[in-house]
């Protein structure tokens, strides 16, 4: 896990942490301008409890890095347009928004976090760095725990794989037996169908025989009646 000194000295390590702007609010409330995006140099100084000169020196020393992370300097018409927008959002008069003489440096939350990782002589900045490092340590611990869990799952899956390999032949034999049973059932259905047809023929024979017996019975009655007359 990187140390605070490494964070102060390594831009690569700082770049890895710049998405953690939520840490600023965990340490202290950052007063944003009415647009909800920017803060001025004096606001940054107030947050870190240092002078504006300290913030200016850090900004000038790392200007390229700061600009990549949201630092903007407004001049001329851009400055006047921004001041007009802020006055409208603030809902006050000309005095409601402090005027800059010739230029205005604007910082985003990302830029302020960048300052926190560069500012050495500020207890607030040190606290922000501590939060960042603790959060990274906790994240690494979670990743390690997740890695162990994944390893256990993989070992279980390897056991399942070998069990499935052993179960394969058994399932194949069961499938063959089921296929054989299906064929036997089909043959049974065919036999039952043939028996049903034969029974139908027998029923027809019984009906014909019954009709012949009835005819024979009538003939016997007729013969008896004739014999009685004699």
Cβ-based burial of 38 (10 A; exposed 0-12, middle 13-18, buried ≥19):
buried
Structure tokens at 87: 């006055």
Distance between CA atoms of residues 34 and 87, nearest Å? 9
pLDDT tens profile 45-72: 999 999 999 999 999 999 999 999 999 9
CA dihedral 137, 139, 140, 146 (to 10 degrees): 150
Structure tokens at 220: 């016997």
Distance of CA 198 to the CA centre of its chain: 67
Distance between CA atoms of residues 28 and 47, nearest Å? 7
What does pTM read for this prediction? 0.57
| pLDDT value, residue 143 | 42
Residues of the chain with pLDDT under 70: 1-2, 91-101, 136-164, 202, 229-230
């Amino acid at each position: 896990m990187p140390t605070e000194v490494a964070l102060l000295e390594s831009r690569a390590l700082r770049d890895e942490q710049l998405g953690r702007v939520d840490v600023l609010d965990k340490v202290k409330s950052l007063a944003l301008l009415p647009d909800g995006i920017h803060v001025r140099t004096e606001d940054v100084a107030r947050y870190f409890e240092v002078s504006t000169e300290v913030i200016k020196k850090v900004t000038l020393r790392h200007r390229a890095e700061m600009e990549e992370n949201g630092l903007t300097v407004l001049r001329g018409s851009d400055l006047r347009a921004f001041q007009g927008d802020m006055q409208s959002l603030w809902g006050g008069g000309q005095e409601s928004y402090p005027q800059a003489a010739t230029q205005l440096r604007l910082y985003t939350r990302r830029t302020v976090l960048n300052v926190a990782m560069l500012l050495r002589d500020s207890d607030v900045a040190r606290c922000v760095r501590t939060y960042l490092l603790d959060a990274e340590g906790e994240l690494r611990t979670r990743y390690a725990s997740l890695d162990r869990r994944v390893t256990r799952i993989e070992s279980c899956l390897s056991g399942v794989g070998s069990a499935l390999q052993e179960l394969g032949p058994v399932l194949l034999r069961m499938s063959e037996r089921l296929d054989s049973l299906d064929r036997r059932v089909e043959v049974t259905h065919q036999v039952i169908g043939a028996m049903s047809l034969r029974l139908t023929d027998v029923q027809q024979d019984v009906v014909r025989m019954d009709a012949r017996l009835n005819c024979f019975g009538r003939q016997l009655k007729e013969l008896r009646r004739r014999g009685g007359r004699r």
